[in-house]
Structure 1
Amino acid sequence: MHARWTMAALAAAALLATPAWSQAARVYRWTGEDGVVHYGDRVGDGAPAAAVTLVAVEIEPAPVARLRLEQRDGLVLAWAENLLDGPIGVVLRASAGAAPQAQPALPARATVPARGRVLVARIAGTAAASAELRLEAVPGHPGARPQDIEYAWPLQSRQLYVEQGWGGRFSHDDAENRHAVDLAVEVGTPVLAARDGTVMQAESGFTATGTEERYGGRANFVRILHDDGTMAVYAHLDAERVFVSSGERIRRGQRIALSGNTGFSSGPHLHFVVQVNRGMQLQSIPFRMFGPRGILRFDDPQQAAPAPADDPSPSARAGASE
């Protein structure tokens, strides 16, 4: 069982405005007693169960931010709108040709508070008319200062099997996932918050799974923002069993979802990682966790040598011990 979790930065091109991106949920179709065909994201009252069918709908991950361009006094004002319930970092770039005249000069960076908007740059009107602008956004405040916290076990199960740990060669070899762990567990196991925080993102509705890269952004997940600015991600959740909503305050030990096998994955598991925003890049950071039999200890991949290839034990393959 292997998995990859990626949070791609939003790339939005615009001349005067970018439309809102949307994520569709499952769509149901049924015929009422009056013979009228109905569609909806939930089945209406009185719909005969035998007449309800599920309509396949392609969905896309929800965006992190939106670029709004506003004309005023011969200038184009470039606003970044944060669509998350937590801070984000953004950078505005000219994607082709010479950068237009702007104040501040492009590329321009800004930090946008939860559900807020910030003026990123003022662009000369004549230059903006021919420029193609791109807004990139990354969750998290760039000034986050991680505290030394002991995280709780994130599963309502005493099973301990770390399938892939820090620096796993299959998919934990980039900055975003280097300190992630994949906890093998049966589909439908309750997932618990490992620390207090606020739900910053909650994605659900993705049902497909596979080991092709096209599944990389299709894992159901919950991102919880902690008070020190760090963020925990719980990924590859069940498509229909995410129990929390964006903006909700969460307590340590609270049930937030059921585990699944969605997105870039070859087997049922929970992908857990703690991240910060550093230089417009999500970076995973080391963490301490209390497991079913005591403190888990993960070898730092940048310091520890890899386990022997013929060692079959889960702890050796995962770089974890108790």
Structure 2
Amino acid sequence: MKAARPSAAAWLLAGLIALLPAHPADAARLWRWRDADGVSHYGDRPPPGAAAEDAQSLNFRRDPGAAVALRLVDRGSHYEAWADNRLPGPTQVQLRLRSGDNITVAPALPARTTVPADGNGLVGRIYPADPRVASSFDLILDYLPGDPHARPLDFEYRLPFDYAQVRVDQGFGGGFSHNDAQNRYAIDFAVPEGTPVLAAREGTVLQVESDFARAGLDRERYGGRANYVRILHADGSMALYAHLKPEGVLVRPGQRVRQGQRIALSGNTGFSTAPHLHFVVQVNRGMRLEAVPIRMFGALGELKFARDASTPAR
């Protein structure tokens, strides 16, 4: 079999923070190492202590910050394609074939599976259609955080900051940017930059971004990137707190947080017209994120969110 040329490209859908799709970085070095049974593995990061050799002939393209990596295992007669999940929560992956010559793949691509937290999962096997002829292939691994089988429960979320008076700049179904599936039940709270952001519900920090410094409406120039914290809840739903202050994230992936704990400082990064906190609860619905309606309570009781309106809430 001719040397395979794997490639990993990753994307996330995360509310208004534009990580979709992630733009592949320059060609990254691929390493080869052998496990205790002498089986060859190919990947972008060899395990600690492995005697890895440079396999530059198998270079591929990847997002250098990718939380999920594609790994190939050489079984002699075929390759196995594995997804290694570095996130502290489940992730759904999809393996696609960009191009291939003289190969068959089982199961047929695109193929999906869910990989547990800090775990790995077999996504597919690549065989030569005719072992007497050289084969080649180019794979893409897409991923999305969350378990597609999650079923969110009714929960009383707390206000994600400490204010008695609350102003909502954009609520459920807001026409400016809350009109798609992943933001339909998002809430934009008008709060001054630097306001302490509190966890609306206990959970595990799944992802963070804290070093982006720009804001504005030019998606082409800035990509809509924003600083954010994503927290995984016990029922599989995920809360996104976005447009945070640069270097304003106060938690780390894998950290358990309690309801009301300070997790960040609000800001004005990403696709934003003014300082505010973007909050939304989402679930994975099969390689796509969807917002779910929630109930939220502040010092004066339950907040009532007007649809498609910029209306202060109390």
Map 1:109-120 onto structure 2 (within 5 A): 109-120=112-123
Given the superposition, is the C-alpha separation of residues 132 and 105 from structure 1 closer, same or farther in structure 2, using an over 3 Å criterion?
A: same
Does residue 1:71 correspond to 2:74, yes or no? yes
Map 1:260-271 onto structure 2 (within 5 A): 260-271=267-278
Aligned counterpart in structure 2 of residue 229 of structure 1, from 223, 236, 248 = 236
Aligned counterpart, 1:203: 209
The alignment's C-alpha RMSD in Å is 2.7
Given the superposition, is the C-alpha separation of residues 126 and 159 from structure 1 closer, same or farther in structure 2, using an over 3 Å criterion?
A: farther
Given the superposition, is the C-alpha separation of residues 17 and 104 from structure 1 closer, same or farther in structure 2, using an over 3 Å criterion?
A: same
Aligned counterpart, 2:17: 5
The answer as to whether partners of 2:100 and 2:136 remain within 8 angstroms in 1 is no
Aligned residue-pair number: 266
Given the superposition, is the C-alpha separation of residues 121 and 260 from structure 1 closer, same or farther in structure 2, using an over 3 Å criterion?
A: same
Aligned counterpart, 1:192: 198
Aligned counterpart in structure 2 of residue 241 of structure 1, from 240, 245, 248 = 248
The answer as to whether partners of 1:187 and 1:269 remain within 8 angstroms in 2 is yes
Map 1:250-289 onto structure 2 (within 5 A): 250-289=257-296
Map 1:29-68 onto structure 2 (within 5 A): 62-68=65-71
SS at match of 2:304: strand
TM-score by length of 2: 0.77
SS at match of 1:132: strand
Deviation at 1:293, TM superposition (A): 2.5
Deviation at 1:9, TM superposition (A): 5.3
Given the superposition, is the C-alpha separation of residues 195 and 281 from structure 1 closer, same or farther in structure 2, using an over 3 Å criterion?
A: same
Query: What runs of 5+ residues in structure 2 fail to find an aligned partner?
Result: 1-14, 31-40, 46-62
Aligned counterpart, 1:153: 159
CA distance in 2, matches of 1:234, 1:273: 7
SS at match of 1:279: coil
TM-score by length of 1: 0.75
Aligned counterpart in structure 2 of residue 19 of structure 1, from 14, 24, 44 = 44
Deviation at 1:164, TM superposition (A): 0.9
Does residue 1:178 correspond to 2:184, yes or no? yes
CA distance in 2, matches of 1:201, 1:148: 23
CA distance in 2, matches of 1:265, 1:79: 38
Aligned counterpart in structure 2 of residue 219 of structure 1, from 181, 202, 226 = 226
Residue deviations 1:33-55, cap 9 Å, x none? xxxxxxxxxxxxxxxxxxxxxxx
CA distance in 2, matches of 1:221, 1:83: 18
CA distance in 2, matches of 1:89, 1:11: 19
Deviation at 1:217, TM superposition (A): 4.9
Which letter does structure 1 place at the counterpart of 2:290?
Answer: Q
CA distance in 1, matches of 2:101, 2:184: 36
CA distance in 2, matches of 1:108, 1:223: 26
Aligned counterpart in structure 1 of residue 305 of structure 2, from 279, 298, 303 = 298
Given the superposition, is the C-alpha separation of residues 86 and 265 from structure 1 closer, same or farther in structure 2, using an over 3 Å criterion?
A: same
Deviation at 1:298, TM superposition (A): 2.8
CA distance in 2, matches of 1:99, 1:175: 40
Given the superposition, is the C-alpha separation of residues 137 and 9 from structure 1 closer, same or farther in structure 2, using an over 3 Å criterion?
A: farther
CA distance in 2, matches of 1:243, 1:90: 29
Given the superposition, is the C-alpha separation of residues 116 and 19 from structure 1 closer, same or farther in structure 2, using an over 3 Å criterion?
A: same
Given the superposition, is the C-alpha separation of residues 70 and 102 from structure 1 closer, same or farther in structure 2, using an over 3 Å criterion?
A: same
